[in-house]
């Protein structure tokens, strides 16, 4: 797997860490309403969802970082599997998000496009 794929995996992982922080610490900020669509009256009702999704994003980031690392060890197949599975998973989940909440089309693009680019880079190697 190429260095480009490793770099993309790390970049996507870093984005997911930022999203985790936004979901955990800044979800109430009015400027982020477009991203979460959470109204103040619903903060408590979506608490479990918000925390679960946040930590899903964090563990996915860890999988990408670990995958990028493993590519340089004696376990490159494991690294490749982590990166490719994670990319495919995010593309699938972005489609689900678009179908279930079309207002989150920007989130769908932010989730899908980097992972599609990663898969294209992988296919090109």
Report mean pLDDT in 10-residue bins for the chain, 125 residues. 90 97 90 85 90 95 98 95 97 96 92 96 93
Q: What is the pLDDT of residue 27?
A: 86
Which residues have a Cβ under 8 Å from the Cβ of 40 and sit 6 or more positions away?
28
Which of 118, 123, 117, 98 has the alpha carbon at shortest distance from 108? 98
Model-level pTM?
0.90
CA-CA distance, 6 to 36, in Å (whole number)? Answer: 29
């Amino acid at each position: 797997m190429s260095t480009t794929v490793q770099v993309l995996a790390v970049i996507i992982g870093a984005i997911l860490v930022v999203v985790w922080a936004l979901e955990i610490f800044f979800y109430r900020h009015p400027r982020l309403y477009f991203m979460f669509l959470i109204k103040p009256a619903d903060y408590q009702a979506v608490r479990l969802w918000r925390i679960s999704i946040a930590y899903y994003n964090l563990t996915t980031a860890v999988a990408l970082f670990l995958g990028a690392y493993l590519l340089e060890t004696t376990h490159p197949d494991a690294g490749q599997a982590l990166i490719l599975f994670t990319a495919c998973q995010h593309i699938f989940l972005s489609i689900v998000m678009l179908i279930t909440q079309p207002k989150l089309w920007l989130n769908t693009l932010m989730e899908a496009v980097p992972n599609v680019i990663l898969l294209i880079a992988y296919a090109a190697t």
